[in-house]
Amino acid sequence: PSVNLKNFSSWDVNTSYDSAYLVYTHNSALYFVSDSILHEYKGGSFSAVDNSKRDYRDITSSFGNLVIARGEGILVIDENGSFIEKSEPSMASALIDDEGSLWFGSFYTGMIKKTPENVVSYLLLPGPYGLNSYDMDGVGNQMWVTSGGHTTAYAPSYISFGYYVYQDGRWVNRDESNPIVGSMIDFTNIHISDNEIWLGSFGAGLALIRNGVPEEYFDKNNSTIKESVPGREIVFGMAKDNDGNLWASNYDTDKALLVRRSNGAWEDFNVGLKNLGEMVVDDQNQVWALVPRNSSTGILVVKELENGQLQRRLLNTTSNQGGLPNNNVKAIVKDKDGEIWVGTETGIAVFYNPNLVFDGGPNADAQQIIIDDGNDVGYLLGNEVVNDIKVDGGNRKWVATNNGAWLVKEDGSAIIRHFTTANSPLPSNVINTIGIVPKTGEVFFGTIEGMASYRGDATEASDKHSNTLVFPNPVEPGYEGPITISGLPEDATVKIADVAGRVVYELIATGGTAVWNGLDFSGQKPQSGIYLIYSANKDDEDSLVSKLLIVR
């Protein structure tokens, strides 16, 4: 007789298992996972298929086979009930096709196909190799991202995904067969100068990529880089000075400050500190290096004298000795005005006079910026942990925090935007790093859960027009968005006028890009017609007229 499944009395409840998941039927048997153990119900009785606790991810049936994906490999139960183990780690899901080929989705290497003859092929989706991003930096129309890092205790993370490069909508991952960078792990900081990409690492030395091609590798054997601990050569921050010398930090060594001269010669210096991190060079050719894991010092500043010796100054929270808001300085950047912006565990501070840093006194101290957000008066992001700061083409600051990403005005006097998971596609509010593509203004955010990007409205610029573009053009009926003029001289004056010469709107470019909201001075939409866009650099020495068609 048929059973009425809607009648609760037709069901038996087994209380031997507190919870069950990945429940699947196969060949008149029921399979499920409880307490990380795979169980089988067959012929009226329960039994454990495997008494060992495992990381089960997925169960599916295909062509008579039950395919079970686990963290350490795959278990196949064929149509005869035989168990076949396949060692394929880090699987998310798997199945077997009609030709007997095993298909499985990897958490790290995309879709993989393995034939019965053990021929392996990969189907990689367009994207970075992994979720992690430690540092980002842009050059031209590219974004470079490193995937490595370290633990909070400054132990290696052993992340082997290398680095990723984004260009023209495509991601390219590191070539693992490359003899220079293929086997390096835990890539950390990036420094880009002209056609050179320098990549530091937490334990594998330093790599140089020139014109997109890995060219040189530096370690204890061909440079002054030393082992921090046996077998581990840690290179963190890097920055080039005005003479073409590359300065770098060799973490946890007695001579932690390195320099590679423009002629290729290496030197090292004992600066009295073993732990140096990220660094920048100011307009006076002074090197500013963060001092991680030091409760009494936040920043080291050094200046090379004519006799080859180094002048040194330590900056901390004490007045007239740096005036930092916190000694745990996590980010440092030089802006377009030559000011040094630093991010700490308790907000942002600015060294407005880096040229006075060795003179001391209050004018050489860092200053916190006081803002009024309409609800309260306080220090700029004073309650935020600042992980990174990047400067866009308009000299505005993008700030990565544990509470999302912030865009602040060039002088820090106001917050322009604040992105979180609640109002944007950010995968996490914990932003590790930020990068900006100079030519397009696209802003990338690296989080603990992956990356996201935002089409920014500021691009890098020169003092002349270059490939100036107005888009959309034409503006078609129903379009309500902004109108962008790119390829402008830096901070150009832009005037939009009708064919009769009447100016309907005027604005200043942010870097090399101007964004018009499409409204005239009175807040109305201009009528249909051809409009002339006049743009000129600051000195009116370079000007251009572009045309825009508006159709209502």
In tens, the pLDDT along 389-411 reads 999 999 999 999 999 999 999 99
Share of the chain above pLDDT 70, in %: 98
512 CB-near residues (< 8 Å, 6+ apart):
393, 458, 459, 460, 461, 462, 466, 486, 487, 488, 489, 490, 492
1 pLDDT exceeds 60?
A: no
What dotted CATH number matches 469-550?
Answer: 2.60.40.3080
Rounded CA-CA distance 548/117 in Å is 61
Task: Supply 123's token pair.
Answer: 């189907």
When the pLDDT of each residue in the chain is averaged and rounded to a whole number, the result is 92
Cα–Cα distance measured from residue 490 to residue 505, given in angstroms and rounded to the nearest whole number: 19
DSSP assignment letter at 296? S
Q: Per-domain residue ranges for the chain?
A: 8-123, 469-550
Lowest-pLDDT range, 26-35, 83-92, 191-200?
Answer: 83-92
Which CATH number is 8-123 given?
2.130.10.10
Answer with the residue of higher pLDDT: 25 or 109: 25
pLDDT at 221: 96
pLDDT of residue 89: 61
Residues recorded for the chain: 552
pLDDT of 166 > 80? The answer is: yes
CA distance 441 to 457: 6
CA angle 292, 296, 299 (to 5 degrees): 50
pLDDT tops 80 at residue 374: no
Range ranked top by mean pLDDT from 162-176, 359-373, 403-417:
403-417
Q: How far is CA 521 from CA 219, 352, 504, in A?
A: 61, 36, 6
The percent of residues in the chain predicted with pLDDT above 90, rounded, is 67
In this prediction, residues 410-421 reach a mean pLDDT of: 97
Which of 78-87, 273-282, 468-477 is predicted least confidently?
A: 78-87
Under DSSP, is residue 10 helix (H, G, I), strand (E, B) or coil?
Answer: helix
Write down the pLDDT at residue 107.
65
Please state the rounded mean pLDDT for residues 189-207.
94
Omega before 474 cis (within 30°)? yes
Q: Tell me, what's the pLDDT at 520?
A: 96
For the stretch 289-319, pLDDT in tens is 999 998 899 999 999 999 989 999 999 999 9
Give me the pLDDT at residue 122, please. Answer: 75
pLDDT tens digits for range 169-179: 889 888 877 88
- Beta-carbon contacts of 112 under 8 Å, excluding residues fewer than 6 positions away, are 88, 103, 104, 105, 106, 120, 121, 122, 123
Give the pLDDT of residue 151: 87
How high is the pLDDT of residue 376? 81
Helix (H, G, I), strand (E, B) or coil at 434: strand
Residue bearing the bigger pLDDT, 252 or 194: 252
What is the C-alpha separation between 321 and 265, in angstroms, rounded? Answer: 34
Q: Give me the pLDDT at residue 429, please.
A: 98
Binned at pLDDT 50, 70 and 90, residue 109 comes out as low
